[in-house]
Amino acid sequence: MFEWVSSPAAWAGLLTLLLLEIVLGIDNIVFISILAGKLPTKEEQEKARKMGLGIALISRILLVLSASWIVSLTKPIFTIPGIADHHIAEISARDLILILGGVFLIYKAVKEIHHKLEGADDAHNANAKPKLSAILAQILLLDVVFSIDSVITAVGMVKEVSIMIVAVIGAVAFMLVYSGPIARFVEKHPTVKVLALSFLIMIGTSLIAEGTGFEIPKGYIYCSMAFAILVEAINLRVRPKHAPADTPAIEEAH
C-alpha cells in the first residue's frame, strides 16, 4: 500500500496534491468560520469549527475511497439544449451537485451580506439562534460540493489511494491549525468578512457555470481573489486606527 514512499515521483505528486488541497480548502475554512460565527458562544463556535473540519476529513477520505464511483458521476444523465456555445449540454450527476451547491453557496453568502449591510446581524442572531447540528449539516453539505472536484482532480494526478488520503489529512491538519486565527481575523474586520462572502459568491457562480458547461479558468478566479486581498490588505494598513477617537478633537478645534 505504501510502496510509493521510495519513489521521488510519488513524493512530488503528494506535495503537489497537498498544495492543491490546501488552496482548495481556504474557501472551506472561510465558509466554516462564517457559519460557526453565527453560534451564540465562543465555545460553541470553536467546537463547530473543529467538528466541521473533522467532518471535512471524514467526508473527503470517504470520497477518496469511493473515487471510482465519484468519477462515474461524470457520465451524462440528461441533456439541455442551448447552454454552452448554443450546443446541447450534457448534464451529469456531478454537474447537478455543482449547480445545487453553487446556488446554495450564493444564497448563504448573499443572505449574510444582507444582514451585514442592513445592520440586522445582531437582531437576527437574537431572534433565531442556530443549533450546532444545523450548522454542522450545512458544513457537511458544502464540504461534499467543495470536495468532489478536488477528488476527481486527485484521481487524475495520482493513482495511489494512500497518497490521496495522506494529502487530505495534511490539508485538513493545516486547516485545523489556521481555522481559528482566520476566523478571528474575519470577525474582527467586517470589510474582510464581506470580501470573503463576495469570494463565496464568485465560487458559487463558478460552480454553476461549470455545472452548465461553461469553463471558467481557475487561474482567473484565484488571480482576482489575490488582487482583491492585496487591495484590502493595503486598505487595512493605511486605514486610521483611531479615527473615531480623533473626531471629537477635530470638532472642538472648529
12 in any annotated domain: yes
Query: CA 175, 178, 181, 186 torsion: positive or negative?
Result: negative
Is 246 among the domain residues? Answer: no
In a domain, 181, yes or no: yes
**Residues 241-254: tens digit of each pLDDT:** 555 544 444 444 44
d(CA 50, CA 180): 9
| 76 bridge partner residues | 92
Q: Which domain holds residue 98?
A: 7-216
- What nine digits make up the cell of 159? 493513482
Q: Which range has the top average pLDDT, 20-34, 110-124, 174-188, 239-253?
A: 174-188
- The answer to whether position 244 is within a domain reads no
- CA 193 vs CA 1, 183, 235, 250: distances in Å: 43, 9, 14, 30
User: Is 239 within a domain?
Assistant: no
Kindly report the CA angle at 225 between 170 and 83, in degrees rounded to 5? Answer: 100
**What percent of the chain has pLDDT above 90?**
0
Question: What is the residue type of 55?
Answer: I
What would the grid cell of residue 210 be? 461549470
Contact present, 165 and 81 (Cβ < 8 Å): no
Buried b / exposed e over 34-55, threshold 16 CB at 10 Å, is bbbbbbeeeebbebbbebbbeb
Confidence of residue 88 (pLDDT cuts 50, 70, 90): low
Instruction: Please provide the average confidence, as pLDDT, over all residues in the chain.
Output: 75
Q: Is residue 68 part of a domain?
A: yes
Tally of helices (H runs) and strands (E runs) in the chain = 10, 2
Per-residue pLDDT at 43: 84
> Is the confidence at residue 134, as pLDDT, over 80?
yes
Domain membership flag for residue 243: no
Reply yes or no on whether the pLDDT at 220 is more than 60: yes
Assigned domain for 53 exists: yes
- Range 23-37 average pLDDT: 76
Q: For residue 119, is it left (φ>0), alpha (ψ between -120 and 50) or beta?
A: left
Does the pTM exceed 0.85? Answer: no
Domain count, the chain: 1
